[in-house]
Structure 1
Amino acid sequence: MNKLKTMMVALCCALAISACGSSDDTTSSNNGGNNNNNSGTTTPSEQPSTNTTTFVKGADVSWVTEMLADGKTFNNGKVKDLDGFMSYMKSLGVNSIRLRVWVDPKNEGTSYCDVADVTKKAVAARKAGMKLMIDFHYSDTWADPGNQKVPKAWSSYTFAQMKQAVSDHTQSVLSALKSAGVDSVEWVQVGNETSDGMLWNDNDISVTGKCSKNPSNFAAYITAGYNAAKRVYPKTKVVVHLAEGQNSFLYTRLFGLLKKYNASYDIIGMSLYPEDSNWSSYITDCIANIKSLKSTFGKDVIISEIGMTWNSSQADSFIKTILANAKTTDGCEGVFYWEPEVYGGWKPADYTAKGWNAYGKGAFDTTGSATTAFQEFNK
């Protein structure tokens, strides 16, 4: 996701939430393609080799290969390669790694987060003994509450073609991981921060997966990703991920619509990005939301993203408290920190081109070493 949300994006999100599902009568007549059947059978080799009941203390480190290529090092200069980095993360208490994947990022001027890059990182994470979450954005670039851009190659697709593309892309990426020796993917996230759906094609209401325009399509695309993921890794858990974990209205509304339109998924994913002034109330509201969702929809929850300003005096308390509360909440599988390894004002090329500030909610200090806040993961 683009972590540096502008006021315009926030306004768009608010409008989308209030509108979500208001246009049910506009759904396409050809949306009967939902298939909730779980294809494939599980063989012993496909069983996860790690203990999936262990509380998740994870990190999304999708930027790491780009940082290494830019000459960044970690652990005060001691770590200079990918395998070393994954081992360092493991030593910090991380037991799970989350990796985003874009459809064809070359259309946006980069090769990072394509299938080859994701495979390299996934292999290194499994070599270090960590579990994996693969985060499908279904876009050539960032997908988040204000941006769910259709991949360039899919821009003229019909509903049926779009649903097939979701299936094919999901299966292709996961098959590449499996062929590279990745024996298990514990979670597959179908869409990133899909607070108002995904694959927005507002020019064609029969195709768009925008929830406020066509919730039936959104449910169909989720199910297409679900079925494809299960064909490759039958034991994987499929996650539907929204922003604003403290916002119970958003979650109840959207997951109510997914239930109405028979979407198939296993787990609810959340993001949580507080500031110094509100982190305590955010945690309180987030935990209450998790309990409510578990009761209402019967689904477990995983906090797919958290972040706090790296040098905040409140960061230690925030991370300690969110980990403690999540671990003792029935139905919460764990927590992932988003890009903790970012430090020293580093930013990728597209950040520079767009004039955004560098991402500041990592959890490493200016030497590329974990701050005391992130070291809470090792307790």
Structure 2
Amino acid sequence: MKIQKILFLIFFSIVIISCNDSDDKEPIKKEEPPIEDMSGFAKGADVSWLTEMEAENVPFYNSAGEEMECMSLLKSMGMNSIRLRVWVNPVDGWCNKTDLLVKAKRANDLGMRVMVDFHYSDSWADPAKQNKPAAWEDLSFDDLCLAVAEHTTEVLTALKNWDITPEWVQVGNETGNGMLWDDGKADTNMAQYATLNNYGYDAVKAVFPDAKVIVHIQEGDKNNKFRWIFDGLKNNGGKWDAIGMSLYPEPDTWQTMNDNLISNVNDMISRYGSDIVICEVGMNWDEEDDAYDFLSDLISRTETIDKCLGVFYWEPQSYGGWKQYTKGAFDETGYPTKAMDAFE
């Protein structure tokens, strides 16, 4: 019996040694699925309303009638990028830093690229209004500049701490006449607008040096407007990496407006050497055939321009009278319209 036990122990030891030796060998590699290429031309959407819509149990469906999470649905339809606005201290909390982080993480986890759109306001900043946040209203101009830098840094650092790297960052939203009025109103003090812009620009670069900083102007078909604001910024030391444009045509105007936008794009590239991003587009949801033609034409033409980086639809998932907005690309029952096919 002793001999048998000894022989068993010797055999067992040899097996253990053999197993340990095999650990040093290269493991058999399983074939991984190909990684989807999400680089190149950006086809995206601003979905900043999404979490608020979900809180109201608004559903989204694919063409097969299956309910889907909205960003996953957009990705399945050819979109590779998500744009998200951020407000300073919104009354209801939506689109604040925390809400931005939630949406940005979801986009990032899906492998989608992220654009951050700073409004530098507690609510909408657009051509009609560029209101200061309530907490900034009584600041001196110097302190207002610091507030822009601190807010930009705080939000972007929070993203960085969550391992989210935005590809683009807007310093202001549709700032065709500057931002943070009246201090930064361009037609009364272009130099101060340029200074405020630069505090935002420098803050972005300090956190994400490779992010492209966008100055975003409305009415992308209006070349004179763009020349005025960007000549003004350039002459006052203003900094930017890319020029952002909006375009909201009607069914009977989209062809002319697209032609004018393309002409403007080429002029901006020639004049300033800037990259271009079409940050916002839209058309009424029930004009889906015209919207499809408009978007297909716009995307196909901008894709051929080397320095044009992408096209973003503004809140395509809004439907059914959400916020009284009618320029989404979903029908009244939560299905994507034909307009979305332009992104495939």
User: Structure 1 length as normaliser, TM-score?
Assistant: 0.79
- Aligned twin of 2:55: 69
How do residues 40-55 of structure 1 correspond to structure 2 at under 5 angstroms? Answer: 54-55=40-41
Deviates more, 1:309-318 or 1:66-75: 309-318
- Structure 1 or 2, whichever has the larger Rg, is 2
- Aligned twin of 1:364: 330
Match of 1:160 among 119, 129, 142: 142
Q: State how many pairs are aligned.
A: 307
Kept in 1, the 8 Å contact 2:148–2:199? The answer is: yes
- Aligned twin of 2:155: 173
- Aligned twin of 1:99: 84
Alpha-carbon distance in structure 2 between the residues aligned to 1:368 and 1:323: 24
Deviations 1:243-289 (A, max 9, x none): 00000000001100000001111000000000011000000000000
- Aligned twin of 1:299: 274
- Aligned twin of 1:121: 103
Kept in 1, the 8 Å contact 2:38–2:80? The answer is: no
Alpha-carbon distance in structure 2 between the residues aligned to 1:241 and 1:197: 10
- Aligned twin of 1:235: 210
Alpha-carbon distance in structure 2 between the residues aligned to 1:364 and 1:52: 24
Kept in 1, the 8 Å contact 2:60–2:67? The answer is: yes
Displacement of 1:168 in angstroms is 0.3
Helix, strand or coil at the partner of 1:303 = strand
Matched, 1:333 2:309: yes
Displacement of 1:368 in angstroms is 1.4
Helix, strand or coil at the partner of 1:373 = helix
Kept in 2, the 8 Å contact 1:135–1:189? The answer is: yes
How do residues 1-379 of structure 1 correspond to structure 2 at under 5 angstroms? Answer: 54-75=40-61, 78-79=66-67, 84-106=69-91, 110-182=92-164, 184-201=165-182, 208-312=183-287, 313-347=289-323, 358-378=324-344
Alpha-carbon distance in structure 2 between the residues aligned to 1:78 and 1:234: 41
Helix, strand or coil at the partner of 2:57 = coil
Q: Stretches of 4+ moved more than 3 A in 1?
A: 49-53, 76-80
Alpha-carbon distance in structure 1 between the residues aligned to 2:271 and 2:293: 30
Q: Which amino acid aligns with 2:118?
A: F
Helix, strand or coil at the partner of 2:84 = strand
Tell me: CA distance 1:213–1:174, structure 2 relative to 1, closer, same or farther (3 Å): same
Alpha-carbon distance in structure 2 between the residues aligned to 1:377 and 1:249: 30
Kept in 2, the 8 Å contact 1:287–1:329? The answer is: no
Alpha-carbon distance in structure 2 between the residues aligned to 1:156 and 1:218: 17
Deviations 1:4-62 (A, max 9, x none): xxxxxxxxxxxxxxxxxxxxxxxxxxxxxxxxxxxxxxxxxxxxx99785001010000
Alpha-carbon distance in structure 2 between the residues aligned to 1:193 and 1:78: 36
Alpha-carbon distance in structure 2 between the residues aligned to 1:103 and 1:179: 19
Alpha-carbon distance in structure 2 between the residues aligned to 1:300 and 1:236: 12
Tell me: CA distance 1:50–1:271, structure 2 relative to 1, closer, same or farther (3 Å): farther
RMSD, aligned α-carbons: 1.5
- Aligned twin of 1:355: none
Kept in 1, the 8 Å contact 2:195–2:238? The answer is: yes
Alpha-carbon distance in structure 2 between the residues aligned to 1:134 and 1:156: 26
- Aligned twin of 2:5: none
Kept in 2, the 8 Å contact 1:190–1:239? The answer is: yes
Alpha-carbon distance in structure 2 between the residues aligned to 1:219 and 1:157: 18
Kept in 1, the 8 Å contact 2:60–2:70? The answer is: yes
Displacement of 1:78 in angstroms is 3.9
Displacement of 1:177 in angstroms is 1.2
Helix, strand or coil at the partner of 1:342 = coil
Alpha-carbon distance in structure 1 between the residues aligned to 2:239 and 2:342: 35
Alpha-carbon distance in structure 1 between the residues aligned to 2:266 and 2:54: 40
Tell me: CA distance 1:375–1:181, structure 2 relative to 1, closer, same or farther (3 Å): same
Deviations 1:181-228 (A, max 9, x none): 31x110000000000000002xxxxxx000011101110111101111
Kept in 1, the 8 Å contact 2:85–2:118? The answer is: yes
Kept in 2, the 8 Å contact 1:52–1:186? The answer is: no
Runs of 5+ unmatched residues, structure 2: 1-34
Kept in 1, the 8 Å contact 2:38–2:112? The answer is: no
Kept in 1, the 8 Å contact 2:70–2:317? The answer is: no
